[in-house]
Structure 1
Amino acid sequence: MLSWFGIMRLGLVQMSLGAIVVLTTATMNRVMVVELAMPAILPGLLVSIYYGTQFLRPRFGHSADQGGQRTPWVIGGVALLAAGAIGAALSVGLMERIAWAGIATAIPSFLLIGLGIGAAGTNLLALLSTRVSAQRQAPAGSLVWIMMIFGLAVTGITAGQLLDPYSHGRLVAVTLGVSAVALTLTCLGIWGQERGEKRVVEKRNGNFRAILRELWVDPRVRIFTIFVFASMLAYNLQDLILEPFAGHVFGLTVGESTKLGGMHHAGALMGMIAVLLGGTVLARWFIVPTRVWVVGGCLLSGVSLVGLAYGGLHAASWPIGANIFVLGLANGAFAVAAIGAMMGLAREGGGGSEGVRMGLFGAAQAIAFGLGSFAGTAMVDLMRWITSQDAVAYGSVFAIEGLVFLVAAVLALRLTSPHADARARPAMMPGE
């Protein structure tokens, strides 16, 4: 089993993934829309290409299961991601000269980005699931995600300084530099981590579809996959509408709504830290089961969203900042605890099926993220058109999100330990 130092080393890989992705989803997005005056739907469609590749995650995990090694998949995935990011940076410069050629170049670049994240991310979590003890899975998920957020922040600040004054050449140079650092950190983080691991690989004739069908028949895998999809859909539905909500309903300025978004991220970070401390420092006196973090986080997220729906109708007196912070706190705690539960259930299968299991869960998560971003904005537009009242429009969407979180909590409670009769004992999350 990995020590905390070993887990931190694997966290370097997650940090590297975040560092490269933030350039494509934030920096290049802004350049296309602002500097190049492209329609906002363009980067949205390009990012949807990335999400569209995520259904291949089970295949990536299965291939690593059959090959017996995950290190080449992780390093190769980050290399593909870096190549895609560099191609995307070059395509942005080309868009200014020949728009159609730049867009045509960006499409395969974002395909590489999606394939790289899928291959590396799936097998990184699969490796964590097999090398981290059950007691450490939730706090390990917290540590790895905190390191990813750190990578996002450092890259954003550093790249922001290096990109001023902006030029396409600077964007390519910064992307090359970040990619080189990310590849180096990935190699340092994962090298030798599989050494000494004894893996029993059941080939099952290498039939991927048969293995996937077998997994879907398992009620725990099926329920957990649906739980991941539902909870992550609810998690991401509010992502693109929180700041417009603050502006339309509470009358906040751009700067004020941006600070409000920062409070949500700060709350999420605090929730992740709480799970990390709960599984390390506080575990000396008492252990908070993964189930508590997951179910409690879903319930508190749902209550917070209902609070936003109610608060929009009483904007003059509602403490919107505190509400958003609590929502972030609940989101962060549930999300990383769910990652820990995901690792636990991936390991339960044994027989070398951890990768395909993690790929199935990862695909559900990524598809829910992509769908959530689109559905949240679409529902708000539809409700604003129907009701002509911003508070009611946004509030109805937040209420629906809260309901989805409640459904996710119920699904989490239905999960039982692998050898337990569901009617005979309390429900448990994987890894408890």
Structure 2
Amino acid sequence: MTLGWFGIFRLGLVQMSLGGMVVLTTSTLNRLMVVELALPAVLAGVLVALHYAVQITRPSWGYRSDTCGNRTRWIVGGMAALALGAFSAAVGVVTMESAFWPGLVLSFLAYLLIGLGAGAGGTSLLALMATCTRPDRRAAAATITWLMMIFGIAATAGTVGALLEPYSPRLLLEIVGAVCLGGLALTVLATWRIERGLVAEAEPDAAPLMEGLREIWSEPRARSFTFFVFLSMTAYFMQELILEPYAGFVFGLTPGQSTSLSGAQNGGVFLGMLAVGIGSTGLRIGSLRSWVVAGCLGSALSLAAISLIGQMNLPLIVPAVVMMGVFNGMFAVSAIGSMMQLAGEGRHAREGTRMGLWGAAQAVAAGFGGLAGAGAADLLRLWTDIPTAFGLVFFFEAALFVISALMALRILEGGRVMPAGRLVPGE
């Protein structure tokens, strides 16, 4: 017995909860540290990079879920750690207003916990989907769960942005606490006995972790795809820590408004992912590779536009950010579809380890990209005005997206995902 559509939807609820908790730490709390507390953007970047750096342990979590025979315990345990870490991060920001060093230490520990929780819960969730979903449903399952995650991010950011006006530390803690408790409760309900009766496609692999990683790394496609994931995700995440401060400094957006801007961006991501799901699978328009390339190039153009409107002082930040979100979504879901297909290639019973390897590459790229973007913005602000400093970072990010598009043309197959879950020649 494998996962049905209702089971896939249940796992999507977990992804939705994960996205809702993480977006508070990478957008709202980041903005508060940089603008309201007047801290260097690189400090917020270090904290967010820390939670991504810890996720280099994703292959280990994937391996554990491959061999223990019960992935649900790792999903729920990881989400519990994530919820505790997210609330502790909010407490840390509030504490820094009156006691900087104690608040910083608490924030440091909180982001470590966030990284461990997201790594354990997220990797185990993907592994459960890869092993217990029929091959013809894997691409659709990836699309559904990621759409639900983006919906959770957009809904959380938009709702929190509206509720956070007027801002106060107590209100922040109340809202973050409610989001974390709600996300954890939803996770427990969504995964309750979900593995009962499910049979993975292969028996658990008891080979040592490093042996499994060496075997996967020896596969040319898996290795090349890992490099592609790292570069493209570096481009994807460079704006994550500077977009809301940019909106606050250059366009005068309040904390609630900039959080709502993040919601609008992720609403665009949702639309982009939906377009790929309908276009490539339903209408059979284009191939996974063509959608990846279109997403990368469109993201590059959007970033250039975001930079230029700051230089020209045009009040178009919202439509520009939504446009970037749409192309980001196109890129992300088509890359995820390729990942789900590649996870089942090569030696069996390594889906968790494979997803862990690519998840680690994504996490390291996210941390590196976010920190590099924040650090570059801080340094450039020493020599030039704020719009130019942020704009140069956006232009560099656009260049990385162009390079990623060229890599996708060389690495990814030009096949179209058919309803039967097979790749057939396309371009």
2:301 equivalent to 1:299: no
Matches within 5 A, 1:328-339: 328-339=325-336
CA spacing shift, 1:181–1:207, aligned 2, 3 Å: same
Contact kept, 8 Å, 2:299 with 2:398, in 1: the verdict is yes
- Residue identity in the other structure for 1:302: A
- Residue identity in the other structure for 2:205: K
Q: Percent identity?
A: 46
Contact kept, 8 Å, 2:47 with 2:107, in 1: the verdict is yes
Per mean C-alpha deviation after superposition, the further-off stretch among 124-133 and 57-66 is 124-133
Contact kept, 8 Å, 2:21 with 2:179, in 1: the verdict is yes
**What is residue 101 of structure 1 aligned with on the other side?**
102
Query: What displacement does 1:323 show?
Result: 5.4
Query: What displacement does 1:192 show?
Result: 3.5
Pairing partner for 2:401 from 394, 398, 405: 405
2:195 equivalent to 1:196: no
**What is residue 183 of structure 2 aligned with on the other side?**
182
Give the root-mean-square deviation of aligned CA atoms.
3.9
Alignment gaps of 5+ in structure 1: 418-425
Could you say which structure has the larger radius of gyration? 1
**What is residue 422 of structure 1 aligned with on the other side?**
none
- Residue identity in the other structure for 1:339: I
2:372 equivalent to 1:371: no
Query: What displacement does 1:16 show?
Result: 1.1
Contact kept, 8 Å, 1:46 with 1:110, in 2: the verdict is yes
Q: Secondary structure at the match of 2:327?
A: helix
Give the distance between the partners of 2:88 and 2:234, measured in 1 at CA: 30
Query: What displacement does 1:288 show?
Result: 4.2
Pairing partner for 2:357 from 360, 365, 368: 360
**What is residue 125 of structure 1 aligned with on the other side?**
126
Give the distance between the partners of 2:266 and 2:156, measured in 1 at CA: 16
- Residue identity in the other structure for 2:288: T
Contact kept, 8 Å, 1:61 with 1:358, in 2: the verdict is yes
Q: Secondary structure at the match of 1:348?
A: coil
Contact kept, 8 Å, 1:62 with 1:208, in 2: the verdict is yes
CA spacing shift, 1:375–1:97, aligned 2, 3 Å: closer
Give the distance between the partners of 2:80 and 2:302, measured in 1 at CA: 40
Matches within 5 A, 1:311-330: 311=308, 315=312, 324-330=321-327
Matches within 5 A, 1:370-389: 370-380=367-377, 388=384
Matches within 5 A, 1:124-273: 124-156=125-157, 159=160, 171-194=172-195, 195-201=197-203, 203=205, 206-241=207-242, 252-254=251-253, 258=258, 264-273=265-274
Query: What displacement does 1:88 show?
Result: 3.2
Contact kept, 8 Å, 1:312 with 1:395, in 2: the verdict is no
Per mean C-alpha deviation after superposition, the further-off stretch among 46-55 and 125-134 is 125-134
Query: What displacement does 1:145 show?
Result: 2.6
Contact kept, 8 Å, 1:66 with 1:352, in 2: the verdict is no
CA spacing shift, 1:427–1:379, aligned 2, 3 Å: farther
Give the distance between the partners of 1:306 and 1:12, measured in 2 at CA: 34
2:73 equivalent to 1:72: yes
Contact kept, 8 Å, 1:138 with 1:275, in 2: the verdict is no
**What is residue 61 of structure 2 aligned with on the other side?**
60
Contact kept, 8 Å, 1:141 with 1:337, in 2: the verdict is no
CA spacing shift, 1:431–1:269, aligned 2, 3 Å: same
Contact kept, 8 Å, 2:300 with 2:402, in 1: the verdict is yes
CA spacing shift, 1:210–1:408, aligned 2, 3 Å: same
Question: 1:314-373: CA deviations, max 9, x gaps?
Answer: 948998776554433221111111112112211224521111110111111111112112
Q: Secondary structure at the match of 1:18?
A: helix
Q: Secondary structure at the match of 1:254?
A: coil
Give the distance between the partners of 1:161 and 1:47, measured in 2 at CA: 24
Query: What displacement does 1:296 show?
Result: 2.4
Alignment gaps of 5+ in structure 2: none
Give the distance between the partners of 1:79 and 1:381, measured in 2 at CA: 34
Query: What displacement does 1:378 show?
Result: 3.6
CA spacing shift, 1:161–1:322, aligned 2, 3 Å: closer
Query: What displacement does 1:10 show?
Result: 0.8
Contact kept, 8 Å, 2:45 with 2:375, in 1: the verdict is no
Query: What displacement does 1:101 show?
Result: 3.0
Contact kept, 8 Å, 2:58 with 2:120, in 1: the verdict is yes
**What is residue 288 of structure 2 aligned with on the other side?**
290
Give the total of aligned pairs: 416
- Residue identity in the other structure for 1:203: D
Give the distance between the partners of 1:41 and 1:3, measured in 2 at CA: 45
Give the distance between the partners of 2:380 and 2:39, measured in 1 at CA: 27
Question: 1:97-124: CA deviations, max 9, x gaps?
Answer: 6443333333222211110000011111
CA spacing shift, 1:111–1:72, aligned 2, 3 Å: same
Contact kept, 8 Å, 1:302 with 1:405, in 2: the verdict is yes
Give the distance between the partners of 1:307 and 1:26, measured in 2 at CA: 21
Query: What displacement does 1:47 show?
Result: 2.2
